[in-house]
Every structure is written in structure tokens, then in C-alpha cells.
Structure 1
Amino acid sequence: MHAEGKGSRRRWRMLAVGMTAQCASCVFLYGLAYLVPVLRADEGMSLTAAGTLVTCPTIGLMATLVLWGAAADRFGERVVMASGMLLAGGAIGLAVSRDGVVWMGTWLAVAGACSASVNAASGRVVLGWFGPEQRGVAMGVRQMAQPLGMVAGALVLPPIGSAHGFRTALLFPMVFCVLAGLAVAFFVADPPREAPAAGADRPASPYGTPVLFRIHAAGALLVIPQFVVVSYSADYLVQEHGWTATSAGRLLAVVQTAAAVSRLVVGAWSDRMGSRLIPMRRLSLANAAAVAALAVAALGQSWPAVVALLVASVATVCWNGVAFTSVAELAGSAWAGRALGIHNTGQNLAAAASPPVFAMVIGGPGYAAAYGICAVIPLAAAALTPVGAERGAGRNAERGKDRGADPGTERGADRPVRARVRPGSPHRADRPTESDPSQARGPAR
């Protein structure tokens, strides 16, 4: 069956369900930043205390990402994503069941730990069901979940929080997580996996070279300006420009929608180029320029500063999908869950540390100084990005074929991005099985 057939439509449908599940996770993980002004007003918290509380879910997430990735490699994507999202919804419910900042922060961390399941496993769905010529777009769709989750958070959470309080606002992500978990359980099928031949060696770790370590490090660095800009954008508009929390949330919802579309565009660009890492390096440099412009504009309080904030909010987000795609492809199907978990862990370590650390800078020298520091960081990420790794992966793949590579590897998962085939060919060795996904078996036991 060709890409236009029933199987392909179901792949895209499953991708949409997986993206929705990750969107629910992101409303909870990152949308809480839009409630920082509410926390400061209602709970009397300092900026540092409020920033620390809203990063509790991210702290929980970091503790379990690699474990969920290993579970997805072993047990399959469907059960991992569904169970994690249902547990996350239950933990959020416990967080709002009692008063107390410690109680709430603890259960927010537990909920973040459970929601890590979808971060680790949904990337495997993309790797398993989509060939290299579509993965950039597919991963771009998957990575749209974060900015779209922020859109939902920006539109819904500040009005609820302003009217009814922080704890009541948490009911929205609680219900969203439960519904997303049920949707995954009913509609997502694990990609087919071929059983390894008797006596075949287990796939070697992709961490024998520094390539993945460099991509992980570059991604973690790029997250710092992203989360500084996003976490304090609402507070910046409220404190520095006199906006209300609701009006700031509405504007930032529009910005995050543009950021979501930018990930899809970048994914399509990477498919067309046949490279993930060249776009990643170029976008790192664009990131540095955009945040530097924001730092200069933030020295004043006029409308150019607001425009620069909006541009930086998109520029600091758009690179993420190509980084995840490169990790999954270079790791290979047998290691993709763990590699994505490690990549996510590094990014979320940076995401958790950045708001509290930069709150001290903002509280001292101010926003312009914080943005100025963030403008330098993407330059280091650009230098770390190993743009030659994809060509090296292609040479290694050919040598692996000559030696008899692991037959249990999913077709296409370890093929270099640059391997091109004629569109529409009925014999595309790099395309995953086009059979009805609902008939797909789980992982070989």
C-alpha cells in the first residue's frame, strides 16, 4: 500500500493522537509558567519561589525520562504513553486535593514524572511509522505539541487562575491528561518490529562516539534561552510594560501558535535538505541574533521591545524538532527510546535550572542583562552541533550491511537521512510496513 493508502492515513491519525497526548503534558509542564503572576499575587511568593514551584513538574520529568524510554524500547509505545498520562492526571488531582505548597509541589513533581512517558515514547512512534523522507515533518508535528500546549495554557490558565486561584486552574491539565491517556489506549498501535534472527548480536550502543553527546549538549544549551524567554515573557509584559496577565496570555498564545507552525516548517525544510544537523546549526545562529536584538530592545520600554520579545519567542523554539529527529535517527530503533530519554533529560535539566537562576539576574541587573547572557549561549550550541555526523552515519550503515547488520532493526530507522529514493516507488526499503496499524503486533518478546 502506498503512502496515500489507508495505512498511511492511520499513521497520521496516530501521530495526531500522540501529539495531543504530548500537548496535554506540555500544558501541565510548561503552561504553568503563565500562572507566575497569579502565584505572586495570590500566594505572596517572590519571583524566585514562584519560578521554582512551576518547575516542580520538570524536576519529576527529569527523574524518569530514561526509564520511560527503556520501557518503550522493551514493552512498546502504546502501554507506556497511556499508563503514564492516566497516572499524571491522578497525581495532578492529588496536588489540588489539599492546601500547602509542599504538598502541591511534591505531587506536581510526581505528575511530571508520570507525564515523561509520552515525551520518551511518542518519538519512537515517529521513528517506527514514518520513513526518512517524512520524519522531519512528522517529528515537526510531534514537536508542535510544546508550543500548542503553551497556547492552551496561555489562553485557559490565566483567566481561571485570576478568577478562582492557582489550584482550580490545575483542573484543566488534570482532565486533559486523563482524556489524552484514554485516546492513546484506544487509537495508538505500536509500530511493527521484526524479531531478531537466532544468534544475532544485540545492537551496539550508539554512545561509542561523541556524536550523540554533542547533540544532547547543543540541545540543552539551546533550551536555556528558550525557557528564559518563555518562562518570564508574561511577567516581562506585566511588570515592564503594564499589561494584564490575561492580555499578555492572549498575545503569547498567538506567538506560541506561530512557534508551533515554525517547527513544522523547519521539519519540512530538513526533509528537503536531507539533513537535520545543518538546519540545527543555522537556527542556533539565528537564535543568538534574535535574543541579542531582544537584549538591546529591553534597555527601553517601547513597542520595539515587545516586537523583539515576540520574534525571540519563535526563534528560540523552532529548532527543537530537528534535534529530536537527528537523535532518533542516529541512535537507531533499538536505542531510540533511551536516546530520546537522555536527550530530553538534558534539555529538562537546563529548563528546570534556567528560570530560578535567571530570576536572580532579572531581580538584579534586569531583563536586558538576562537576555544578553542568553544571546551568547546559542553560539556555543552552534559550535557543538556535529554537522558531519550524518555523512559518517551513512558510511557506517554501508559497512554494517557488508558485515551483516542486526536484522532486528526496523527498516529505515538506521538509514542515514541523506539516503534518497524516488518518491512513489513501490519498493522503498526505508519505508515502514504500510499494513493496517491496528493489526501491528507489539515488540518481540
Structure 2
Amino acid sequence: MATLQQAGLTFVRFGLPALAPFMRADLRLSLGQTGVVLGAFDLGALLAFYATGVATERWGERRVMACGSLITGLLAATAALAPSATLLALLLAAAGVGFPSSQVAGSQAVMGSFPSWERGVAMGVRQAGLPVGGLLAAGLLPWIASAWGWRVALVVAGLGCVVAGLATYAGLPDGSREADGGPRTALHSLVGVTVQFFKSPPLVLTTLTACLLAAGQFGLAGYLPLYFVDTFAWRPEDAARLLLFVHLGGIAGRMAWGWVSDRWFGADRPRPIALAACCAAATVGALALLARMTSVPTLAAASLALVAGFTLLGWNGLYVTLISELAWAAGAVVVGLSMTVLYVFTMLAPPAFGWAVERAGGSYTAAWLGVVALQLAAAVTVLSVRRARRTVAHALEPGD
């Protein structure tokens, strides 16, 4: 059920990049303005992650997950009626408030159900819901937008999210945190948890790693279709379908990197994350080199998109597992704090990428190379987590 709920939310979240070429043409947006619209959803998520963690500790995963899906789905469908880019961005920001429910509450549901040596695969399966939703969005929404317009496609995405939320509420056991009339983590301790978070080198370094990696992930998901439209004169609907292969790669990557972590690295998370980051850097470098070509064969573009999804989308499950394991009993709150910081980067990444392209006169090469540098920096920071853990036995002890 956690995977289904994640897929419903990301049907909306990753539906936005798939619809970006259609929105851009209809609303006459610049690349930077397109990035602002894409980043608005993440602004709403950014503001809600911490509160979602607190809500999960108080009311349990089931209620939070179902409510999150309903909020995102209904407001995304409403956003389709927006007459201007400004109102569209505001409504998408409001829709984003429901998105953290899968990342925070859904992750806690998985963490409490599996031992450490199985969590990598289990979290990878749950996190695979993100590219599954993206795959559905990339395959279905451009087709709907071509036939009936992007507004109808956005309504379809919102209604799909609502259905996933209702199914989650009906099918997920009630895992309420309230054992004796009070939340598992008392509200008076939340300030202490926040202070401990920022004083813990492993938690800070893990969060920084995720921020660096996310710049590549959201640059790819937000601008790969536009890259092929602007550089190789692909039709928008054909370019948007490259996201199908990105998300297929992401599904395989999230499960595969989790399996590698559990089986090859003995439940160690930092080393496979570093390996994934290095592979991602190489893949984005290949994307940058494509600009030297006058045209790109469809098979080559699809293959590169598949590999890009495997590497740039594959690390998320390991990050959530690592931050949750470091957090101990305050898991939901700490995951919410970490993702609040993370989503500052995800919110800024699309407009920053678009700004870099515009500053380069429409060339995407410098922006892609910037992503390469960030992926390599992430490999360095995540390996520092292992050294920090030798000094700090646990980031948060139970009862802190």
C-alpha cells in the first residue's frame, strides 16, 4: 500500500515535467518561468515535511498517508483550472503540501516492518513507487495532453492520486502511534530532536549528500524533454516520452541499489550511495556530450534515458533508509527535518538549471556539467558519513 500511495503522489509530481512542454507553449513561459512552475510543487512539500513528521508521530502512518494523497490530488485537479502561470504555481504549491506523506509516513511504515538486513530492498520497493508513478505519467499524460490539452491531463493525474489515497486508507492497517492517548514522541521533545539533528555530523552529511544528488535527479526529470526539444528539435510529445525510460530505469535502480546495499555491502548504505553517485556523474557527462551531435537516434536517446534513471533516481531508497536508521526512535520527525532541507534544493534546482541554460545562450552543456560536479561531491560527502559514524555511535539515542 505504501508503494501504491507513493505512485499516486508521483503521478502528479512527475506528471508536471511530462506536461512542461505543453504548459510552456500554452502559457508562453520562458525556461526560467517553467522552472518556477515546476519548483512550486516542491515549495509546498518543503513547508510541510516537518509538520508531516510530527503528524505521523501523533496520528500514525495510515491517516497521514491517506490525507496527503487527497490534498495533493484534489488541489492538482483544481490547478488545471488556473488561467495564469502565477495562479497555477500557487495551486501547485498548495498541492505539494500532501507530498511528504509518502516520504515520511510511508518510510516509517516500512522501517518498522523489516530488519536492517532487509530494509534496503524493502525501502527500494517502496521507493520504486516514485518512478512507477513517473512511468505512468510519462506514458499517459503527454498522450492526453496532445489529444485534449494539458489541463485535462492534470485533472487525470489529480484524480489518480485521490484514488490511491482512498485505497491506502482502506487497505493499510491502522498503525497509530498513540499507545496510551499520547504520541510516541512527546511534543516537548521535538525542539530537542531538532537541535540534535543539526548537531549530528552523520545526519547533516547524509542530508547534504541527498541535496547534491537531488540536483541531478530533478534537473534530469525537469529538463530532459526540453533538452531534446531545444537542442535536437524533437516534438514535445516524443521528448516527453523519454521520461518513460527514465522512470523504468528508476524502478530498476531503486530495487537494485537496495539489493546491492543489503547483499554486497552488508546493510552498509554510504558506499553504494557513493557508487551510484559516480555512475550518475558518468551518465550526465554522456548527456552533455550529446550536444555535439546534430541529431540523436531514438534508440540511443532511450537507452541513455534508461541508464540515467537507473543511476540518478536509484539512490533515494538508500538515503531514506540511512537517515531513518541514524534517527532511531525519532525517525518520522528526523526524516521530516532532513527532507525539509532536501526540498530547498529540489525547489531551487529546476529554476537554477533553467537559469544556467539561459545564461549560456540556450546551451545545456554547462548546466549538465554542473550536475556532474554535484554528483561527484555527493560521493565524497556520503563517504564522510562512515567516518563520522565511527566517532558518533548513534546520531540520536532512544529517549533523546
| CA deviation vs aligned residue, 1:15-54 (integer Å, no higher than 9, x gap) | xx11111111112122201112112222222122122112
State the alpha-carbon separation in 1 of the partners of residues 336 and 144 from structure 2: 33
**d(CA) in 2 for partners of 1:388, 1:335:** 23
Contact 1:36 1:47 (8 Å CA) reproduced: no
1:384 aligns with 2:381: yes
C-alpha distance after superposition, 1:361-411 (max 9, x if no partner): 212321111111111112221221112455667x559xx7xxxx65xx9xx
Paired position in structure 1 for 2:347? 352
SS in 2 for 1:298: helix
Contact 1:128–1:191 (Cα < 8 Å) also in 2: no
Partner of 2:326: 330
Structure 2 segments unaligned to the other structure (5+ residues): none
Partner of 1:281: 274
In structure 1, the partner of 2:107 is 123
What residue is the counterpart of 2:368 in the other structure? 371
Answer yes or no: is the 8 Å Cα contact 2:24–2:34 preserved in 1.
Answer: yes
Report Cα offsets for 1:213-238 as digits up to 9, x if no partner.
11001100111112112211111122
**Aligned pair in 2 of structure 1 residues 396, 177: CA closer, same or farther (>3 Å)?**
closer
Q: What letter matches 2:78 in structure 1?
A: L
Alpha carbons 1:222, 1:377 under 8 Å: kept: yes
Contact map agreement 1:34 1:154 (CA 8 A) in 2: yes
Alpha carbons 2:245, 2:306 under 8 Å: kept: no
Asked if the contact 2:249/2:307 (under 8 Å) is kept, the reply is no
Q: Counterpart of 1:425?
A: none
1:263 paired with 2:251, answer no
- Return the letter of the residue paired with 2:154: L
Q: Rate the CA distance shift 1:384–1:233 in 2: closer, same or farther, 3 A.
A: same
Aligned partners of 1:37 and 1:245 also within 8 Å: yes
Q: TM-score, normalised by structure 1?
A: 0.79
- Cα–Cα, structure 1 residues 56 and 139, in superposed 2: closer, same or farther, change >3 Å? same
Q: Are residues 201 and 177 of structure 1, via their aligned partners in 2, closer, same or farther at CA, if it must alter by over 3 Å? A: closer
- Matched length: 381
Deviation at 1:77, TM superposition (A): 0.5
Spell out, residue by residue over 1:405-440, the C-alpha distance to the aligned partner (whole angstroms, 9 max, x if none): 65xx9xxxxxxxxxxxxxxxxxxxxxxxxxxxxxxx
Cα 1:263–1:275 shift into 2, 3 Å? same
Specify the code of the residue in structure 1 equivalent to 2:359: G
Return the match for 2:224 from 208, 228, 233.
Answer: 233
> Quick one: distance in 1 between partners of 2:129 and 2:394?
33
SS at match of 1:303: coil
Residue correspondence of structure 1 range 13-162 to structure 2 within 5 A: 17-162=1-146
**1:220 pairs with 2:217:** no
**1:286 deviation in Å?**
2.0
Q: Any conservation in 2 of the 1:220–1:347 contact (CA below 8 Å)?
A: yes
Tell me the residue number matched to 1:178. 162
Q: What is aligned with 2:356?
A: 361
Q: Deviations over 1:279-320 (max 9, x none)?
A: 112222222222223223333334387354543343211111
Counterparts in 2 of 1:88 and 1:194: CA distance versus 1, 3 Å:
closer
Does the aligned pair in 1 maintain the 2:5–2:168 contact within 8 Å? Answer: yes
Q: What is the Cα deviation at residue 348 of structure 1?
A: 2.0
Which of 258-267 and 305-314 deviates more? 305-314
Q: Contact (CA 8 Å) 1:275, 1:390: kept in 2 or not?
A: no
Shift of 1:116: 2.2
**Aligned in 2, Cα 1:236/1:80: closer, same or farther, shift over 3 Å?**
same
Moved more, 98-107 or 365-374: 98-107
Which protein has the bigger helix share? 2
Identity of aligned residues (%): 32
> Residue 312 of structure 1 is aligned with which of 308, 321, 340?
308
On the 8 A contact 1:128/1:192 being kept in 2, the answer is no
Distance 1:135 1:254 in 2: 26
**1:315-351 CA-partner distances (Å, limit 9, x unpaired):** 211111111100011101x311112112222222212
Counterpart of 1:413 in structure 2 is none
1:90 and 1:308 map into 2 onto residues whose CA distance is 35
Cα RMSD of the aligned pairs, angstroms, is: 2.6
Partner residue in 2 for 1:294: 287
Report the CA distance shift for 1:168/1:195 in structure 2 as closer, same or farther (over 3 A). closer
Superposition deviation, residue 97 in structure 1: 4.0
Which whole-Å CA distance do the structure 1 matches of 2:86 and 2:285 have between them?
A: 37
State the one-letter code of the partner of 2:70.
L
Report which of the two structures shows the higher radius of gyration computed on alpha carbons: 1
Say if 2:43 and 2:96, in contact at 8 Å, map to a contact too: yes
Runs of at least 5 residues in structure 1 that lack an aligned partner in the other structure = 1-16, 410-445
Which shifted more, 43-52 or 185-194? 185-194
Distance 1:90 1:355, change over 3 A: same
**Matches of residues 390-401 of structure 1 in structure 2 within 5 Å?**
none
Are the structure 2 counterparts of residues 250 and 93 from structure 1 closer, same or farther at C-alpha, using a change threshold of 3 Å? closer
